[in-house]
Amino acid sequence: MTSMAERLLDVAMARESVLAAARPLPPEPVELTAALGRVLAEDVASDGALPPFDASAMDGFAVLAGEAAELEVVGESRAGHPADRALRPGEAIRISTGAVVPEGAEAVVPVERTESDDGIGPADRRRERVHVPERSPGDHIRRSGEDVGAGELVLSAGVRLGPAEVAVLASLGRPEILCGPRPCVAVLVTGDELVEPGTPLGQGQIRDANAFALAAQAERAGARVVRRAVVADDLEATVAELAEALEIADAVCVSGGVSVGPHDHVKPALARLGVGERFWGVALRPGKPTWFGLRDRTLVFGLPGNPVSAMVTFHLFARPALERLAGAAEPARPRAFAVLDETVARHPLRDQAVRCTVTVASDGWHVRPTGPQGSHVLTSMLRADALAVIPAGEGEVPAGDRVDVELLR
Ligand code: AMP
Ligand code: MG
């Protein structure tokens, strides 16, 4: 085991180390109705064109192209009920939006651009006539394949399915698709001082926030929380809880007790259980005492106890790993630039993840720190839309500079 003082890993390298260790879990079939938020595990191509036929974009009349004319209405093509005959010169076929353009027709004229001949009433529909203006071939026709060509690759493995992806899969006729599984996560929090909400606080006690934060973040990341436990600051208890968590989870997140104090038992417990250390100590504020290791394919994150540090390090390291376990192609959140609205002092040795509120102005995104940034100030996570990354160094980053931001939501 290395001592943290020897070297702190930079944030990007720590994230790379985590992603290198996280290999996608075997996919499983998922019904489309349950697929929202899941990661697609297959490439999806269309088995036919979309739209599948030339369709009308308007309610109106299917006609030949040409000069203004008076035409005889000879039938109707409704959505789901094509006309029973082809169109011939001198004729129009009434058509609705989404209906098949009848064979022989070249254009659709919207109903509001036509005039019906009132002289012949509906009682004699076979002789109903319509006056249409000049129109060109293709007017108001949605061509077959305009959206998707037959055999075209539409979605690639690794995308997270949002409402649009689910809708496209439905339109491609897929009631079921292969998805990455929801990784199983165990959340353990350590500390003799911790009390669950609902229990009165005794001397020196605080409420456990991390079990709630980390479980919520894990769920947000698409994982299933299979275990939550508060563990006393006791080596044997820590070994017992971690041993069980390692059996049932794809990733274990344990907070607190990871430092080198006499009551910090997480690292010795993990060593005893054969979890190999990948890194210990990240050049990050908050979040320096972050540990990451592996037993077989199970990932173990030893996160700091301070609630803000726990949440920030979960976001930066555990969340991308969970997304990779689920098969996500691009697990890191998109980064962007934003104008910093408040001067921030740099830390000489560590990058800072500053919790910020994002606003939009005429020159793009702006970020402003949510308030005091102590790692115990959990309310600084309220209204935090993004982490602004302030690189290590001397001096300060003045208000007005552009900074790298990583979205939290
Ligand atoms: P530790 O890393 O165990 O030394 O904890 C660092 C700080 O975080 C201490 O002030 C702890 O009381 C606090 N802390 C640890 N775990 C939790 C938790 N689950 N919820 C809230 N605060 C915590
Ligand atoms: Mg502790």
**pLDDT at position 395:** 98
Q: Where in the chain is the domain with CATH 2.40.340.10?
A: 335-407
Is residue 290 within 6 Å of ligand 1 at its C-beta?
Answer: no
pLDDT of 225-260, one tens digit each? 999 999 999 999 999 999 999 999 999 999 999 988
CATH code assigned to 28-50+146-179: 3.90.105.10
Residue 123 has pLDDT above 60, yes or no: no
User: Rg of the chain over CA atoms, in angstroms?
Assistant: 31
Fold for 335-407, please state it: Beta-clip (2.40.340)
> What confidence score (pLDDT) does residue 6 get?
59
pLDDT at 4: 55
Going by pLDDT thresholds of 50, 70 and 90, the confidence category of residue 63 is very high
* pTM of the complete model: 0.92
> Residue 213: pLDDT band by 50, 70, 90 thresholds?
very high
Top mutation candidate among 195, 280, 306, 314 for ligand 1, by most atoms within 8 Å of CB? 306
229 lines ligand 1 (CB under 6 A): no
pLDDT above 90 (res 120): no
Across the range 138-145, mean pLDDT stands at 98
Contact partners, residue 198, CB within 8 Å, separation at least 6 = none
Other beta carbons less than 10 A from residue 335's beta carbon: 12
Q: State the residue for tokens 């109707």.
A: 76
Q: For residue 165, is pLDDT > 90?
A: yes
Reported as half-sphere exposure (CB side, CA atoms, 13 A), residue 84 has a value of 1
358 lines ligand 1 (CB under 6 A): no
Q: Is the pLDDT of residue 138 over 70?
A: yes
The domain defined by 55-142 carries CATH number 2.170.190.11: yes
Q: Is 375 in the pocket of ligand 1 (CB under 6 A)?
A: no
Q: Is the CB of 209 under 6 A from ligand 1?
A: yes
Residue 127: per-residue pLDDT: 75
Q: Give the Cα separation of 72 and 102 in Å (integer).
A: 15
pLDDT, position 344: 97
Decide: 194 in ligand 1 pocket, CB within 6 A.
yes
Which segments of the chain belong to CATH 3.40.980.10?
4-26+181-325
Residue 3: which pLDDT band, with cuts at 50, 70 and 90?
low
Report which residue type is found at 11: V
Under 8 Å between Cβ of 370 and 358? no
Distance CA 354, CA 384 (A): 9
Across 330-358, average pLDDT? 92
Integer angstrom CA distances of residue 94 from 67, 98, 320, 366: 19, 12, 55, 54
How many angstroms is it from 22 CA to the middle of ligand 1? 27
pLDDT for the residue 114: 96
- Local confidence band at 134 (pLDDT 50, 70, 90 cut-offs): very high
Looking at all shown ligands, the one closest to residue 194's CA atom is 1
Residue 21 banded pLDDT, cuts 50, 70, 90: very high
C-alpha to C-alpha distances, 14 to 9, 101, 144, 258, 294, nearest whole angstrom: 6, 58, 49, 17, 14
- The larger pLDDT score, comparing residue 213 to residue 374, is at 213
pLDDT digits (tens, 9 = 90+) for 305-318: 999 999 999 999 99
Q: How far is CA 357 from CA 71, 337, 365, 380, 381, in A?
A: 63, 14, 10, 10, 10
pLDDT at 126 (0 to 100): 53
pLDDT per position as a tens digit, 262-303? 999 999 999 999 999 999 999 999 999 999 999 999 999 999
Domain with CATH 3.90.105.10 in the chain: 28-50+146-179
Could you give the residue range(s) of every CATH 2.170.190.11 domain in the chain?
A: 55-142
The minimum-distance atom of ligand 1 relative to the CA of 304 is: 2
Mean pLDDT of the chain: 95
Per-residue pLDDT at 335: 83
Q: Which ligand is the nearest neighbour of the Cα of 291?
A: 1
Residue 124 has pLDDT above 70, yes or no: no
Percent of the chain with pLDDT over 70: 96
Ligand 1 and 206: CB distance under 6 A: yes
Ligand 1 atom with least separation from CA of 258: 2
The pLDDT tens digits for 377-399 are 999 999 999 999 999 999 999 99
**CATH 3.40.980.10 given to domain 4-26+181-325:** yes
| Per-residue pLDDT reduced to its tens digit, 73-117 | 999 999 999 999 999 999 999 999 999 999 999 999 999 999 987
Atom of ligand 1 nearest to the CA of 230: 19
